[in-house]
Structure 1
Amino acid sequence: MKSPADLSEASMSSYLKCISPIDGSIYAERPLMDKAAAFDAVKHAGDAQAAWAMRPLDERVAIVRDAVARIGDMNDQIVPELAWQMGRPVRYGGEFGGFTERASYMADIADAALAPIMIEDSDSFTRYIKRVPHGVVLVIAPWNYPYMTAINTVAPALIAGNAVMLKHASQTPLVGERLAQAFQAAGMPEGVFQNVFMGHDVTADLIAAKSFGFVNFTGSVDGGRHIETAAAGTFTNLGLELGGKDPGYVMEDADLDAAVDTLIDGAMFNSGQCCCGIERIYVTASLYDDFVAKAVAIVSGYKLGNPLDSDTTLGPMAQARFANEVRAQTAEAIEAGATALIDPALFPEDDGAYLMPQILVDVDHSMRVMREESFGPVVGIMKVADDNEAVRLMNDSDFGLTASLWTKDMARATAIADQIETGTVFVNRCDYLDPALCWTGCKDTGRGGGLSEIGYHNVTRPKSFHFKKAL
């Protein structure tokens, strides 16, 4: 369900159109590059990259830090822009906190992460391994957290000496423009960072033509398959963060109030449109009834409405078709025996992008809502008998991005964490991206790893130096 401009409707015309979920109006419209212009942009990036890579690391870091700060200076304009583009309520203040945390951490560790690995420096030999840039990196970013997901790759790629072309989602076209504005003002050499508007076909043509050393894509599983198909036979390095169906498991010794507050927020925040949002919850039998009652009370207190209203806690989904998919999954589950606990009378909706939140019980894994990515404000809660059942259910998924465990027993948590097929295991928290840890997944969630020192491995390649000294 994560749906950036991977297979965008914009591909069908010469213009990209952002339809605002607030009122269905066209909020932004941009011309799409034709194939010739796109290949010219790649050449421009390649021509600029060599000189950029030759600049001292500290200069590259300084320009990236400056650009990040300039995004912060634009925050008052960015917050309502995000509300208009993808529906997040203005009360939450945008993404600059996480945006600057991630970029700053990658800048902080750049010197150590990119330092050569010295094997030998003797009278006879000098042997070492360097990490060198791929050249031109394409970042295809999603709309749900459009600044934070983009900077995950943009910052380390630029710092490492690559040129970057950013193709942002059709739902959030102003984000790429804001980033380009910030980098230009920070003194980024022309061509090193380019914001581009391209349709799917042109993007696929560029990838198939070996235009990029690395392509990072965050989006749907189907979109990831199209990226892999376009790259087939080119040996292009790929980073793919695709779907998710992230579970939470609440054990009998958990802090119940903290578990309910955090997991329900993880399921509902941003109208459920979070890459690592909680989509299914398993609760030990002794806490199940209390957990469900507290969860219903929290969700019943939300206010669904216009995201420009500071009282709104739940805005519209980014597109009506995304909301309709969640409605379909929910209706199918109810027809199959699930019970919906949130009263529709509390949340008048318009059958469009404005979707009420819902909690489902009496669910099982035969239902799509417990197996397929929902990416919306709905969560199923199941009672489990023990750790073995919880592990089996958490692993009964095609996806593996994160899992959230709730217990005071760290040894028990560690033993369970070792059995879960996932990229990240949280204990007593969820829905957070720690830039010091590798952001990665398994199964249909994708491949590769972003942020942390390992994030630099994605945007560079190893190059070995073996010098025998003449005596």
Structure 2
Amino acid sequence: MALESINPATGEKLAEFEAWDQATLDLAIKNAAGEFLEWSQRTPMETRCQLIKNAAEVLREQQDELAELISLEMGKSINEAKAEIEKSAWVCEFYAEHGPDFLADEMIDTDASKSYICYQPMGVVLAVMPWNFPFWQVFRFAAPALIAGNIGLLKHASNVPQCAQAIERVLHQAGVPRHAFTNLMIGSDKVESVIRNRYVRAVTLTGSEQAGRKVAAIAGEELKKTVLELGGSDAFIVMNDADIPAAIEAAVTSRYMNMGQSCIAAKRFIIDQFIYEDFISKLKTAVEAKFVAGDPLDTATTLCPMARQDLLDELHQQVQTCVDYGARLVTGGYQLERAGCYYAPTILADISSAMPAYHEEFFGPVALIFKASEPAHAVGLANATQFGLGGSVWSGDPATAETMALRMESGACFVNGMTKSDPRLPFGGVKNSGYGRELSYHGIREFTNVKSIWIR
């Protein structure tokens, strides 16, 4: 089996790598396990923090080169790719600074002479990561996991093998030992064997609901800890007293950033009935004025390709089915007549419960518009999905908006702001969007043994 790197803007094959055989994979896992004692117990946390801080410096020093690699492998605009590298550096610095406090022993007053909670690393952790944010997704796992004393194994998406190699190289250049973080050059067919390997203690996955179910089932049989960050179909509620220009600007950014290929992107726009048509008109104008197709490496380009043709085809089929069921096609709805996986930014209005848009995640540049009669109806529409990752509420009445945010079934909700991940805040979902948390102190503690010590 070969892992291919293909430029989605041109269809050109950039590189090809032979996947590891089972013997090579098993040896890599064994070497990783052999590093655990040295890394977790003999390497002081202060040293581990310094090495992760070094990684931030390497990322910034190589920002242009790494951002270009992202753009070439999965089609992200060069401007967004540079921002992704910067955010990856930020999460490294954040945990290098705060990791020791997050993992410090907590003294507890009990009937003992001394009792406390300590956080000890679990061991070798497998990270199964997606292509849509190929650096950020990995570093938001790797920085806290390595600082906590764990060993990282990376099974990256098969269409970004060069990004995977570059991440491993960055960490090793920063001084992280060779076997403390290893990129596994394998396809999805070998993930089960890694999870079942006796040296692997836990798994984290960011990806589709289907992939999450499979990984969780295997890990469950092995009684191994999992953290799953899965799909999302985030609601973006706009009430009639909202700042409409601000909401429109955020709607365009949140829906079409990374060509809509984001779990936490706004996907379902739930609009108050009194401003419904006006919002659609303004959103259409903003979308059609903003996006110009071009080379992702050109800083002037605002419309980039989707990552793969099969993803575009699946999205287009969802759009066509909605139109067949009566959705209004406001703009877009077609693949551009040019080389590459370019899909026109699309808006579908008048969504009903009979359409795929009501139940499914649309992973691409398609905005879905729903009409709400009043705040309770808006929250009901927001919760009428199996997903629960993020969401946002836009209103001139922050108190009412906060009440709506509290009632939304999601791992996060932003009021008068675009939903986003932030190292300072926990990130994750409920329902079919997964479980567990990344980022903040919650994230660094996910892959630790929360141990109670009681002494008389």
TM-score norm. by structure 1 comes to: 0.92
The equivalent position to 1:181 in structure 2, one of 169, 174, 184, is 169
**Structure 2 residue aligned with 1:100:** 89
Residues 330-371 of structure 1: CA distance to partner in whole angstroms, max 9, x if unpaired?
Answer: 1111111111112579x8334961111111112223211232
**Structure 2 residue aligned with 1:299:** 287
Q: Supply the AA of the counterpart residue of 1:77.
A: E
**For structure 1, which runs of at least 5 residues remain unmatched after alignment?**
1-12
Deviation at 1:52, TM superposition (A): 0.9
SS in 2 for 1:413: helix
- Is 2:329 the partner of 1:340? yes
1:258-273 matches, cutoff 5 A: 258-273=246-261
For 1:21 and 1:305, how far apart are their aligned partners in 2? 12
The equivalent position to 1:397 in structure 2, one of 353, 368, 385, is 385
Residues 204-213 or 415-424, more deviating: 204-213
Residues 193-218 of structure 1: CA distance to partner in whole angstroms, max 9, x if unpaired?
Answer: 11111122322012123432221100
Is the Cα–Cα contact under 8 Å of residues 402 and 415 in structure 2 kept in the other structure? Answer: no
Q: Supply the AA of the counterpart residue of 1:206.
A: V
Q: Supply the AA of the counterpart residue of 1:389.
A: H
Is the Cα–Cα contact under 8 Å of residues 4 and 15 in structure 2 kept in the other structure? Answer: yes
For 1:36 and 1:17, how far apart are their aligned partners in 2? 22
For 2:78 and 2:419, how far apart are their aligned partners in 1? 20
The equivalent position to 2:38 in structure 1, one of 23, 41, 51, is 51
**What RMSD, in angstroms, separates the aligned Cα atoms of the two structures?**
1.8
- Is 2:26 the partner of 1:39? yes
- Is 2:101 the partner of 1:112? yes
Is the Cα–Cα contact under 8 Å of residues 280 and 379 in structure 1 kept in the other structure? Answer: yes
- Is 2:117 the partner of 1:129? yes
- Is 2:222 the partner of 1:234? yes
For 1:107 and 1:364, how far apart are their aligned partners in 2? 48
4+ aligned runs moved over 6 Å, structure 1: none
Percentage identity across paired residues of the two chains? 33
Deviation at 1:229, TM superposition (A): 2.4
Q: Supply the AA of the counterpart residue of 1:441.
A: G
SS in 2 for 1:213: strand
Is the Cα–Cα contact under 8 Å of residues 249 and 281 in structure 1 kept in the other structure? Answer: yes
For 1:110 and 1:443, how far apart are their aligned partners in 2? 29
For 1:314 and 1:439, how far apart are their aligned partners in 2? 28
For 1:312 and 1:211, how far apart are their aligned partners in 2? 46
**Structure 2 residue aligned with 1:8:** none
Q: 1:121 to 1:327 in 2, by over 3 A?
A: closer
**Structure 1 residue aligned with 2:428:** 440
For 1:300 and 1:80, how far apart are their aligned partners in 2? 27
Q: 1:349 to 1:357 in 2, by over 3 A?
A: farther
SS in 2 for 1:341: strand
For 1:237 and 1:138, how far apart are their aligned partners in 2? 10
Q: Supply the AA of the counterpart residue of 1:430.
A: M
Deviation at 1:121, TM superposition (A): 9.7
For 2:353 and 2:131, how far apart are their aligned partners in 1? 29
SS in 1 for 2:157: coil
**Structure 2 residue aligned with 1:83:** 71
Is the Cα–Cα contact under 8 Å of residues 56 and 90 in structure 2 kept in the other structure? Answer: no
Deviation at 1:109, TM superposition (A): 1.7
The equivalent position to 1:309 in structure 2, one of 298, 310, 318, is 298
For 1:175 and 1:35, how far apart are their aligned partners in 2? 22
Deviation at 1:419, TM superposition (A): 1.2
Aligned residues: 453
Residues 436-445 or 178-187, more deviating: 178-187
SS in 2 for 1:72: helix
For 1:91 and 1:417, how far apart are their aligned partners in 2? 31
SS in 1 for 2:352: coil
SS in 1 for 2:407: coil
The equivalent position to 2:277 in structure 1, one of 289, 292, 300, is 289
For 1:431 and 1:27, how far apart are their aligned partners in 2? 34
**For structure 2, which runs of at least 5 residues remain unmatched after alignment?**
none
Q: Supply the AA of the counterpart residue of 1:37.
A: T
